[in-house]
Every structure is written in structure tokens, then in C-alpha cells.
Chains A and B, each alone.
Chain A
Amino acid sequence: MPPLISVKGLCKSFGGLTAVVDVSFEIQAGEIIGLIGPNGAGKTTLFNCISGFTRPTSGRVEFAGRDITGWLPEEVCHLGLARTFQVVRTFPDMSVLDNVLIGAFARTVSRAEAERGAREVLELTGLASKAGLLGRNITIADKKRLELARALATHPRLLMLDEAMAGLNPAERQAAVELVRSIQAQGVTILMVEHVMQVIMPISKRVMVLNYGRKIAEGAPEIVAHDENVIAAYLGAKYRQQAPSLPGPAA
């Protein structure tokens, strides 16, 4: 089966600074892929290049069989690729329901139909009881969930989550992990940037590691976690001692 998304030789430089260098990868429909790396490794820039917010300097992005390199974010969204933002971008003066409606309107002009879709997503994400609150008035954990709910309401085939769990406490994080799993269970492919190893390791089938804009490792979480380069660049020596406690390579 052809991959849902395939990125080939993607480069992005801002003036003299090269943020993404020759990154290639493929994701099959239904996978959950983790993207990790230290701050400034180019994860968000990579997201922006794929989702149309910045035009890559060179390279190709193919999604669902189409070359979407240089497409606008709104066009990419209509093709079924949705993203969240690392720094939440809730519509502050709209209610939680209206925030999600904006996403739902991507698939219909009917308000009734959009509202039905939006309420379903609110139910799924556990925001139903807050539907009437203004975007500016909810907690950061709810804003993160709303960000995800909105993206989900566009009915994406690929959902790209940019640190959807940063800043959440362990209980909230656990709820978010469950949520991501249930979204995947509905057939949505997920590419997630995350810093919290306890989240990304058990949830992803495959992990990619970026460092200084380059992909330095890719593979099953437990293999990547033992990779010397990854430990040196990102996880740190402390992680080496913890690593054995992770579940061993899957049989």
C-alpha cells in the first residue's frame, strides 16, 4: 500500500540558518508516529513545511497520492491533513463550541450538520460540559484539548500534534494519551511531536529523532531509546540508566 504521507529530502533554511536538512520519511495509514528531538531541532519547522505554513526551500511532500509541496494551509486541510499548534491558538472570543464549529465547517456548509459534528467531537474529547465557555476563559489543559478537538472536527486522515501534552499534569496527560489512542482507533493517522518520553514511548509504533534539523534515528521506540546518538543528543546519560526498565523489543 502506498504511504499516506511521504516526505522526500525536505530542507528549509531561514537566511543563513538551516532549520531542516534533507529529512525524508513515510507514514502508513493508521500509524502513530512520534517525532522527538531537543529544542530548536526543527520539529515545528518541519510541521510548518508539511502543513503549508512555510514553503520548504527544497524537497517534496506527498499526501494521499498528491504532491502538496507549497500548498496553502487551508488547501492542505481540505485534503485531510490537520495540525495543532505548540502554543495554543484558541479563538479567544468564541465559545468552545464555536471554536470546534470552525473546524467542522471545513466539511459542510450546513450549520446544523456542523454543530452535530462539533458536539460529537466535544463529547469524545470530554469538553461537552464546557461548550458554552469562551475560548479565553478555559484552563490551559482544556485549551490543549480544544486545539485537538478543533483539528479533529475537520475529519483529518492525518493529524499532526505539536506538543499537545506539554504543560499538562500527569493525570491530564494520561487522559490525553487515552484520547490520542481513541482517535487512532477511529482510523486517524497521527504524527506527534512530544517531549515527554513516558508518553511517546508506549504510544508510538515508530519514533523519529531530529537533531540540528537532521533525522538522526528512526525506528521502534525501544531501539531508538538505546541508540547512542539519540542518548547523546537528546535523552541524556540519565536516560541510559532508566532505559532497561522499558519493555524490551517486541517479539
Chain B
Amino acid sequence: MTRDFLPVSRQLSKLSWPSLMIGLVALVLLLLPFVFSNPVLLDLMVLIFVYAGLAQAWNILGGYAGQISLGNAVFFGVGAYTSTALIRDAQIVPWIGGLAGSFLAVILALIIGYPVFRLRGHYFAIATLAIGEIAVAVASDINLIGGASGLTIPFVRDASGRPTDSWLWLQFNQDRLPYYFIAFILMVFCVLVTILLDRTKPGFYLRAIKDDQDAARSLGVHVLRYKQLAFALSAALTALIGTFYAQYILFIDPPSTMGLNLSVLISLIAILGGVGTIWGPIIGAAVLIPLGEVTRAEFGGAGAIELMIYGGLVVLISVVQPSGLMGLGQRIRHRRAPLTEPEARAAAASSSQEKPHATLD
């Protein structure tokens, strides 16, 4: 068609500028470690990728389906512990251990989800919170997996007994660059899963469940089944990242891999960035993680300041911008672009008849 003959500038303008931006950011991220080899910066970037991936996984259930989980760290712990235990006790490589952890996390999610998804609203959040705390308590008592003192992953050593890097065993202590790319790929994978979900039937169904569960049921949506699907996906991705994290830190213990702090941080990142959006969790991680690292460096390791800032942010988001940073961006764009005529008419009509959402019965 004539499309091929359009001048390049016109062809470029056919691409929406967000997708150009995304491509550009991805390119910068891929080249970044070759330009700046500062280990502190690389470590920060790895953490951002890890938390962005975790928030993205949380977003599938919390953002799309509207089921706020305050226990997602449990699956992170399951991923971390499964692969680590398999390395220590069965000499199984973390590639397989990660998949096994993911599989276990899915099973666990389905078992937890079956009774818990009958609860609505706040009760679901409270139930997941309790499950997280139970998991920490239980894991702290099982000596087979190190109990409260945790587990270390032994260094891979070469023939002369020196620690060495290994793709097979996923350890990169001499040249840490591979960690950067693996974390990046994990995050991209989470984004791709979300994009796929966003555009297909399950994604639509999850949004419908979030908006009005009973209306969704009347239109044939198997609510429990789709919540379980979202939970299982969320758990699987979270567990994969858990395995990576264990390989990165080489030490895990119950509070740091399953605790409430981690669960809350994951959800806070997604909420700050914008729930139910593809890019919100990434933006949230890019803002919150450096903020946490900087305050910890400036004000000491206790993390009290960090928690105060997080708390303040939660209040600020819920009062000023419940749809997160993504929503803020949209608002600015809408202010710039005048409403189209039907939009304006609809907006005028709705402002005169805004009423609380009714419930069945």
C-alpha cells in the first residue's frame, strides 16, 4: 500500500511515542552496564529490576483482579527456599530448582486461594497477611531448611578450590554483570506476561471481576477460576524471582524472604506506580527502590526513615492520586489535550448524576 512510500518522519509518527520511549529506555538499560561499571549502581539496578518484577507479578492479582494480597512474599520465599534446598541437599542446579519452586508456589497459591477467594475486599487482604506471618513462623521452625538462622548457598569452586563463576549454578561473584542481565530479562518476562494478559480474555475477565464481581458472574465469568489463574500466575513469577534473589544474595532467611515488610513493599511499589497498568509497577520500582537505598545510606541501616517515607507516600497516594504515577501522567496528558466532543458531553452528563455504586440484594 501507500504506507511504504510515506516519508520516514511520517512512518515514525505512526509509532506512538510511548512505544518509542519504551524501546529507547530498554536500549539504554541494556547498554548501561557497559558505560557505567560502578558496582553500587549495578546493584541498585538489579534491585530495581527485581522489585519491578515482583510488583508486576503482584499487579496481576492486585491490579487487574483487584485482590489486594499482603502475603505475596510467601511465594518469593517458596522460590528462594526450594532452589536453595535443592542445591544444598540434592545438588540440583537452580535452573531446575527455580522451576520446581515456581511449580510449588502455584500449588500453594491454589490451595490458599480456594478458601480465601470466597472472602471479599479487606478480608482477602487480611487473610493473605495472616498467611504470610504463618509462613515466616513455620519456616523459622523447620530445621531442615535452616530454621530461623536461614540458609547459605555454598560458593561454586574450581579445581583449585577458588570461588568461580558458573552459568550452570547461576553464580557470578567475579564478574557480576550476568546478574544484571538475568534480572532485566526476568523483569521483561513479567512485563510480557502482563501485556499478554492485558490483551486477552483472562485480562478482560480480571478487570471485570475487579469492577463488579456479580455483574461479571451474570455474564458467565467463572470468578473463582479466574482469580485462581491470576493468583497462580502471580505466584509463579514471584517464585522465579525468589530463586534469582537467593542466587544473587546467596543467603536467605524467613523474615527477609517471606516477611510482611517485603509483602508490603511489593504492593506499595505497584500502588505508587499505578495498579492495573502495564508500566506502573516498573515506574514505582524506579522511584521507590532508589529512594529506599538513598535514605538507608544517609540515615543508617535501621530503615526507620525509609518506613516513615513509605508510610507518608501511602497516605499521599490515597488522598491525592489513587491511580498512582501512571494516573498522574494520564491526567497531565488529558489536561493538555482537550476532550473530544462526545467525551465532553459524557463528562458533563456524568458529573450531574454521579452516584455511589449499588450492590446486589
Contacts and interface: CB of A to CB of B under 8 A. Distances in A.
Determine if chain A interacts with chain B: yes
B220 A78 contact: yes
B211 A91 contact: yes
Given A91-B207, A94-B211, A137 B350 contact: yes
A251 interface: no
A102 to B, nearest CB: 5
Interface stretch (A55-63, A69-77, A220-228, A241-249): A69-77
Interface string A42-69: 0000001001111000000000000000
B199 interface: yes
B222 A74 contact: yes
Count chain B CB atoms within 10 A of each CB in A48, A102, A133 and give the residue with the most. A102
Contacts, number: 107
B218 A72 contact: no
B219 A102 contact: yes
A129 interface: yes
B208 interface: yes
B342 to A, nearest CB: 7
B272 to A, nearest CB: 19
B201 A109 contact: yes
A83 B360 CA distance: 13
B207 A150 contact: no
Contact of A140 (B207, B343, B353): B353
B86 interface: no
A123 interface: no
Count chain A CB atoms within 10 A of each CB in B204, B219, B346 and give the residue with the most. B219
A224 B336 CA distance: 60
A182 B205 CA distance: 29
A87 B204 CA distance: 23
A140 B350 CA distance: 9
Contacts of A94: 207-208, 211
- The contact size tier of chain B is 20 to 34
B148 interface: no
Contact of B207 (A77, A83, A93): A93
A85 interface: yes
B26 interface: no
Contacts of B204: 98, 101-102, 105
A78 B343 CA distance: 34
Count chain B CB atoms within 10 A of each CB in A103, A129, A137, A138 and give the residue with the most. A137
A111 B201 contact: yes
Contact of A53 (B201, B214, B342, B346): B214
A92 B218 contact: no
Given A93-B207, A102-B216, A133-B346, A53 B199 contact: no
B293 interface: no
B349 A151 contact: no
Count chain B CB atoms within 10 A of each CB in A74, A93, A139 and give the residue with the most. A74
Contacts of A51: 218
B223 A74 contact: yes
Given A94-B208, A133-B342, A102 B221 contact: yes
Interface string B193-204: 000000111001
B336 to A, nearest CB: 19
Count chain B CB atoms within 10 A of each CB in A73, A129, A130 and give the residue with the most. A73
A243 B81 CA distance: 78
A72 B213 CA distance: 13
A102 B342 contact: no
Contact of A74 (B201, B221, B353): B221
Nearest to B348: A137
Contact of A151 (B219, B347, B360): B219
A82 interface: yes
Contacts of B347: 137
Contacts of A136: 350
Interface string B336-361: 00000011001101100100011011
Interface of B: 199-201, 204-205, 207-208, 210-212, 214-223, 342-343, 346-347, 349-350, 353, 357-358, 360-361
Given A72-B217, A93-B210, A102-B208, 11 more contacts: A74-B221, A77-B219, A83-B218, A85-B218, A92-B357, A105-B220, A106-B221, A109-B201, A136-B350, A137-B346, A151-B218
Interface of A: 48, 51-54, 72-74, 77-78, 82-83, 85, 87, 89-94, 98, 101-103, 105-106, 109, 111, 114, 129-130, 132-140, 150-151, 153-154
14 contacts: A48-B361, A54-B361, A74-B220, A74-B222, A77-B217, A87-B358, A106-B219, A106-B221, A129-B342, A132-B342, A133-B343, A133-B346, A150-B219, A154-B219
